[in-house]
């Protein structure tokens, strides 16, 4: 489950404050003491509620992102394209989906998108993650959005349209370059530092 950066800080400050304020003079405070303190002040239920809401928010955003991507099935490929009206290339498609659903502007090229996102193992893929392929004899030359069950949605090539394909097919499995996760807090910080 992902927890937003502000919430992570809030939880750390809260727990640190509780431990510091109620530590025994000989520093032998136990986990049970901390647990009792948190329960007595109603903090456990507040923390659980916050974590549940954060998880629900992430799940909702992921669902919206994949749903929005599916809404563009059939849009034609266009080199340099970044809208449904003119067509998409692979990175323009990914960029448009993230901009419209999450409100984040990813870099324009696939290799830049790979560099701006967090590397993850293929076994850790979740819907909404980015998958990269070597289709032009260079790393990260193609990108798509993982939709689950070994499938991804992308804008493949000239003459084709946005579609869902299996990563297990020989063509894609031999060209797989890696998976990345868009960490929204980090991307927002990077975007703000570039814009200053």
pLDDT of residue 56: 46
DSSP 75: P
| CA neighbor of 71 nearest in space, from 148, 163, 139, 138 | 163
Name the pLDDT band for 30 (thresholds 50, 70, 90).
low
Catalytic residues: 90, 142, 154
Whether 53 contacts 1, CB under 8 Å: no
Mean pLDDT calculated for residue range 112-135: 97
pLDDT of residue 172: 98
| CA neighbor of 177 nearest in space, from 113, 128, 114, 95 | 114
Comparing 20 with 65, the larger pLDDT belongs to 65
Q: What digits encode the pLDDT tens for the residues 80-98?
A: 999 999 999 999 999 999 9
Mean pLDDT calculated for residue range 125-135: 97
72-195 CATH pick, 3.90.170.10, 3.40.47.10, 1.20.1420.30, 3.90.1720.10: 3.90.1720.10
Mean pLDDT calculated for residue range 50-72: 73
Comparing 194 with 118, the larger pLDDT belongs to 118
pTM value is: 0.68
Whole-number Å distance between alpha carbons of 57 and 62? 9
Q: What digits encode the pLDDT tens for the residues 136-146?
A: 999 999 999 99
What sign does the dihedral 77-82-83-85 (CA atoms) show? Answer: negative
Residue 155 burial (CB < 10 Å; 0-12/13-18/19+)? buried
Whole-number Å distance between alpha carbons of 131 and 46? 36
Is pLDDT at 21 greater than 50 in this prediction? no
- For the chain, what are the domain ranges? 5-59, 72-195
pLDDT of residue 18: 43
pLDDT of residue 183: 83
């Amino acid at each position: 489950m992902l927890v937003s950066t502000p919430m992570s800080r809030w939880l750390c400050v809260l727990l640190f404050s509780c431990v510091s304020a109620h530590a025994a003079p000989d520093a032998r405070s136990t986990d049970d003491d901390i647990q009792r303190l948190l329960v007595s002040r109603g903090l456990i239920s507040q923390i659980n509620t916050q974590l549940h809401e954060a998880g629900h928010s992430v799940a909702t955003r992921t669902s919206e992102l994949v749903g929005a991507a599916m809404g563009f099935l059939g849009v034609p490929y266009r080199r340099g394209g970044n809208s449904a009206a003119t067509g998409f290339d692979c990175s323009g498609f990914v960029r448009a989906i993230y901009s419209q659903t999450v409100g984040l502007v990813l870099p324009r090229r696939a290799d830049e998108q790979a560099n701006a996102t967090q590397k993850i193992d293929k076994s850790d893929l979740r819907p909404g993650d980015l998958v990269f392929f070597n289709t032009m004899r260079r790393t990260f030359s193609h990108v798509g959005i993982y939709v689950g069950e070994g499938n991804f949605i992308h804008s493949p090539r000239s003459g084709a349209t946005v579609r869902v394909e299996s990563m297990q097919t020989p063509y894609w499995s031999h060209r797989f370059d890696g998976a990345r996760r868009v960490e929204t807090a980090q991307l927002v910080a990077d975007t703000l530092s570039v814009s200053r």
